[in-house]
Structure 1
Amino acid sequence: MSSQSVDARYLTIALSSPKDRKQIYSARHEVYALELHQHQASEERLLRDALDERNEYIVVKQRDELLGFVSVTPPGASYSVDKYFNRSDIPVSFDQSLYEIRLLTVLPAHRGRIIAPLLMYGALRYIESHGGSQLVAIGRREVAGMYSHCGMKRTGASARSGAVEYELMTGNVQQVYRATAAMTRSFERLTDAVDWQLPFAFNRSDHCNHGGALWEELSGDFSDLGRSQQIVNADVLDAWFDPAPAVLSAISRNLPLLVRTSPPTHAEGLVKAISHARGVPAPCILPSAGSSALIFMAFQSWFRPDSRVLLLDPMYGEYRHVLKNVTRCVVDSVVARAENAFHFDLREVEERLNEGQDAVVLVNPNSPTGTLLPPESLAELIARFPGTRFWIDETYIEFCGAEHSLERFASESVNAFVCKSMSKVYALSGLRVAYLVGPSAEIAELSRLAPPWAVSLPAQIAAVAALDEPSYYATQYRATSELREQLASRLRTECGIAVFPSATNCLLCALPPDGPGADEIVNRARKHNLFIRSGAGIHPSLGPHTIRIAVKSESMNERIVAILRELLSDIA
């Protein structure tokens, strides 16, 4: 079977088990003794050496079949390079930061472009996660180019072992990551399918990218906040409008008290206000300091590595991050496509559910696409699968109309949970307040995991006041809709940008396919104090020519159009 026929959905990358070791030693004999003639063939048809007691092997398997492996030698008394070279001739420090990569091997039937780079990347992540900063390797001359492509440096020294010529190579973690940045991005799509079982995150960063480049431009000690007025932060979906005057008044008139006083332990007053405003029983409500706190809390409670969770992509990246890198679930996805204006087909979702899923996670209306699933159809689907949890993120629902919300449905269900951030639609992003609605018994279980005083007192006061100002916010939602359509029209007519229909406070846009990609436009816009998001940075399926733009005020939208018009005309 050729590497092209390897189905990435069934690949597993993991540390070797004791059972794997015998397969590895057998494969080493097949490749290094019989194929490459580096070693003598043995009757037992196994090949190992003294370093195997110390080395860690990373393997790629398809079901139970070993496809390839790489060995990592940790800091210690000896490395394999010691057999061929004098340490004084190797330009590295032999200390506790030095790791050796060796025996990068793909079995003959599976050689190609997928497995070897995946093993190499796994080895690099292993080394960095264990505190390594220096690298040394001896690569067969035939594969030395791949080591170089990954940022390793040829030293010019070589050695022969049997019929095999090795090149000595060195590097450091920073060099390797600079060299493999593009490779890492290309792996994002692959790791949606690969079962990453290594005991550290796939991504070098343990965090999800949320935009917010504004704070990279302003002083880290918050001493230069006045400059924020010069920046269009359209890479995050914060409200363009201010909180209701009554909200600001409630905070400002009592600010010293709010800052020095502990809040109600479990935000009881806030829960009561939510219950009254939404018509949802209080036992079905769990407040929290933002939706991310709810995501981390619930998912770590519900899911294990053998859990299967279906995502409706492209979507808010925090969900994939938590499921893949924190709970380490098996993550599947239904991907919406541009040819359907990024609308999801619930029939396809149902087909995937029939294959067996523990949970479904979706954002409605969705970010970054702005699409809205009909609540009636969604409720019917949820009711047909009572054994599957459905997590519906309704952060932006009020922009479409509160009648689209499934909060009351979730409170009466056995398996639906509605996550409601109050950040975007109430202009409270800086205060961090959200809540979860679901079956009372499940909410009670999650409440046991919630820390006391999770929502600050200023946030509780502001949220309660905001819920009491529906008229003010309804006016802002209508204005947002008008601003969105005006911005979309001007982007099309003045900038030549295709804009997908949206029901919320962002626009997903397609740049001209024969022009510069999103990364170039994003970087160039930043020099003009305009911050927008690359679509591929949100989800690979969006491709290299999509950008997401937050709807801002009329004056800021004017600046967005002017800057993009200038950038695209300059390049044209």
Structure 2
Amino acid sequence: MSDHRIVITEATGEIRERIYQARHAIYALEIGQHLPNPEERLTDALDTSNRYFAAMDHGELAGFISVTPPGVAGYSIDKYFARDELPFPVDDGLFEIRLLTVLPEHRSSELAAALMTAAFRWIEARGGTRIVAIGRREVKAMYLKTGMIDAGRSIKAGAVFYDLLHAEVAVIRTKADRNTRLLERIEASVDWQLQVPLRKPAACFHGGAFFGAIGADFSSLERRHAIINADVLDAWFPPAPEVIESLREHLPWLMRTSPPTGCEGLVAAIARARGIPESCVLPGAGSSDLIFRALPRWLTRQSRAVLLDPTYGEYAHVLEKVIGCKVERFPLERRDGYEANLEKLVGCVASGPDLVVLVNPNSPTGRGLAIAEVETLLKAAPSRTRFWIDETYIDYTGESVERLVPCYENLIVCKSMSKAYALSGMRVAYLAAGPRHFEELRAFTPPWVVGLPSQVAAVKALENSNYYERRWRQTAMLRNSLAGNLRGLGWDVIPGSANFLLAHLPEDAPSAREVVTQCRQRGLFLRDAAAMGSRLGERAIRIAVKDAATNRRMVGILADIAGSTDRAARSSMSSCAS
């Protein structure tokens, strides 16, 4: 079986000349739209601005399509329709698709769909908002399948009838997202050599919707007092007083001064606090920076990765949507309290995936693995299998595996200082691993990757462990109290160990989506957990632990919106709150 694939590329130079000759062969000689000419080539005034995309089979032209961008040259539709008669606006977001052509020997393939996709992706990547085309009537159904609609206007050019078609780019994108099988077939059959990727890079959803209520332009920060941002897992307590005092005293200088190029002081402080060599530390501007910097360099589309299900959604996003590798999900069941079955997990990692990702404690479940359990997994897997342990919330439990880094070459610990050290806005994190993992990554780590105020804040935080340890103990008490009050509402609360809780709503309550929507109207922002795993269903909510007064406010709002109708349960909640 041949692995030959047709090349999709932008047409320039000689390929363009072949397209002009093919246009004559198809549109003059085959379908009679134009009269034949002695030069045996067809071109027009728009070719000075048109962009062509060609399909090449062993160096021979197999098909092509043209895109006319907005500009002074206008569009081909201008020859047939007055702009004020068009049922859509003609503006800087309008692009025209023209001349979709597949040569006879390739008309039984899906080459036309591949060329349409090439044109659409080129337009989409350039911010186009609407696409227009005059489609030959015989193939109009193909245009309609993409999401384009018939404008009810037609023309005749020579012996050929054309219909005016158009659609918003967003509509075509929605249609394309639903037709994943077609995209997979195109991906398997063509060699995509355009600068714009075949698959649109997907945005990764996070919490943080509360900023919409405050204002992303920061002009009304005082609104923060009126809202509860429990959809993100920021610390409920402030940074250590020494952190705040250091920033307050030196802030003008910190803001205008370049930091140490390689975060040398921060790296030394991390190594000292964690008891690991400085060579085993790679700093980053938050864990997301490190995830996006490292994983695409270690994995390819052929790689195999294992994720817990449910877990933090950014990993699935990067692995599936950015890298495109195969992801195997290890199921965590509600009936088991979302605890991982260690025996089954050992069997999974022993099969030798390229990467195993463990968020520990896991989000959104709050359940974690002990150090000995992680070590059991490390011993079970082949040495080539990388273990990425995300310990963003580990300080709330005290079960970090950082001390194992010198012992296991395949262990990488991702450590954010955002949540447990009340530094979410400062964006400080690091990887702890054997130096071999960082050899390539250091080359792709920019200088000054962490800002100077952030470096100072992180160093001062690490120097004040007693303060934070007290706050972590307080968090455990607040979490337990909040869990009791939510159970009093009839909610099924999963026992957690971090600064948040996962809970399932009672059957007689609205869905999680409805609860989240109604809570926002009252200034309370929660996370609908449905998208964080395939097994959570439509009634799972993740809620951040806040201070005692704020927790009471949250429970009061939730009692009105999503409390059980069982009076006994309400009575239990009231006694717990008192």
Say yes or no: TM over 0.5: yes
User: Which residue of structure 1 lines up, in the alignment, with residue 459 of structure 2?
Assistant: 464
**Alignment map for 1:80-479 (pairs within 5 Å):** 91=87, 93=90, 97-100=94-97, 127-136=123-132, 152-156=148-152, 169-175=165-171, 180=174, 206-326=202-322, 328-339=323-334, 340-353=336-349, 355-383=351-379, 384-401=381-398, 404-479=399-474
Gaps of 5+ in 1: 1-12, 19-38, 40-49, 59-69, 104-116
How many aligned residue pairs are there?
A: 507
Letter in 2 for 1:208: C
Structure 1 residues 538 and 140, CA gap change in structure 2 (3 angstroms): farther
Structure 1 residues 428 and 151, CA gap change in structure 2 (3 angstroms): same
Query: Higher mean Cα deviation, 483-492 or 445-454?
Result: 445-454
**Which digits, 9 at most, give the CA deviation of each residue in 1:55-113, with x for residues without a partner?**
8699xxxxxxxxxxx9975338999999xx9788864759983344999xxxxxxxxxx
How far apart in 2 are the matches of 1:368 and 1:233?
A: 16
Structure 1 residues 303 and 240, CA gap change in structure 2 (3 angstroms): same
Q: Check the 8 A contact 1:311/1:331 in 2, yes or no.
A: no
Q: Does 1:493 align with 2:488?
A: yes
How far apart in 1 are the matches of 2:538 and 2:54?
A: 35
Structure 1 residues 119 and 428, CA gap change in structure 2 (3 angstroms): farther
Deviation, 1:394, is 0.4
How far apart in 2 are the matches of 1:490 and 1:134?
A: 51
Q: Check the 8 A contact 1:16/1:56 in 2, yes or no.
A: yes
**Which digits, 9 at most, give the CA deviation of each residue in 1:169-214, with x for residues without a partner?**
422124556xx4xx78878999999989897679867532221123
**Which digits, 9 at most, give the CA deviation of each residue in 1:301-353, with x for residues without a partner?**
32333333332232222223333344x23131324344332223344444444
Tell me the SS of whatever aligns to 1:370: coil
Q: Check the 8 A contact 1:75/1:96 in 2, yes or no.
A: no
Structure 1 residues 227 and 351, CA gap change in structure 2 (3 angstroms): same
Normalised to the residue count of structure 1, the TM-score between the two structures is 0.73
Tell me the SS of whatever aligns to 2:300: coil
User: Which residue of structure 1 lines up, in the alignment, with residue 109 of structure 2?
Assistant: none
Structure 1 residues 225 and 119, CA gap change in structure 2 (3 angstroms): farther
Structure 1 residues 233 and 94, CA gap change in structure 2 (3 angstroms): closer
Letter in 2 for 1:523: T
How far apart in 1 are the matches of 2:182 and 2:551?
A: 36
Q: Check the 8 A contact 2:333/2:535 in 1, yes or no.
A: no
Q: Check the 8 A contact 2:132/2:166 in 1, yes or no.
A: yes
User: Which residue of structure 2 lines up, in the alignment, with residue 520 of structure 1?
Assistant: 514
Structure 1 residues 262 and 449, CA gap change in structure 2 (3 angstroms): same
Structure 1 residues 95 and 185, CA gap change in structure 2 (3 angstroms): closer
How far apart in 2 are the matches of 1:350 and 1:132?
A: 49
Deviation, 1:534, is 1.5
Q: Check the 8 A contact 1:158/1:168 in 2, yes or no.
A: yes
Deviation, 1:139, is 9.3
Letter in 2 for 1:472: Y
Q: Check the 8 A contact 1:101/1:123 in 2, yes or no.
A: no
**Which digits, 9 at most, give the CA deviation of each residue in 1:385-442, with x for residues without a partner?**
21111111101001112xx211111233211100111110011111111111101232
Letter in 2 for 1:550: A
Q: Does 1:531 align with 2:548?
A: no
**Which digits, 9 at most, give the CA deviation of each residue in 1:113-166, with x for residues without a partner?**
xxxx99999986564124432234689999999988986444345899xxxx99
Letter in 2 for 1:255: L
Deviation, 1:501, is 2.1
How far apart in 2 are the matches of 1:190 and 1:508?
A: 37
Structure 1 residues 311 and 144, CA gap change in structure 2 (3 angstroms): farther
Normalised to the residue count of structure 2, the TM-score between the two structures is 0.72
Gaps of 5+ in 2: 11-30, 32-41, 44-49, 56-62, 101-112, 567-578
Tell me the SS of whatever aligns to 2:283: strand
How far apart in 2 are the matches of 1:192 and 1:488?
A: 45
Tell me the SS of whatever aligns to 1:287: strand
Q: Does 1:75 align with 2:68?
A: yes
Bigger-Rg structure (1/2): 2
Query: Higher mean Cα deviation, 248-257 or 339-348?
Result: 339-348
Q: Does 1:481 align with 2:473?
A: no
Q: Check the 8 A contact 1:316/1:538 in 2, yes or no.
A: yes
Letter in 2 for 1:284: C
Letter in 2 for 1:418: V
User: Which residue of structure 2 lines up, in the alignment, with residue 46 of structure 1?
Assistant: none
* Identity value in percent: 43
User: Which residue of structure 1 lines up, in the alignment, with residue 13 of structure 2?
Assistant: none
How far apart in 2 are the matches of 1:268 and 1:426?
A: 20
How far apart in 2 are the matches of 1:342 and 1:147?
A: 46
Structure 1 residues 228 and 175, CA gap change in structure 2 (3 angstroms): same
How far apart in 1 are the matches of 2:500 and 2:185?
A: 29
Q: Check the 8 A contact 2:313/2:531 in 1, yes or no.
A: no
How far apart in 2 are the matches of 1:325 and 1:133?
A: 23
Letter in 1 for 2:151: T
Q: Alpha carbon RMSD of aligned pairs, Å?
A: 4.8
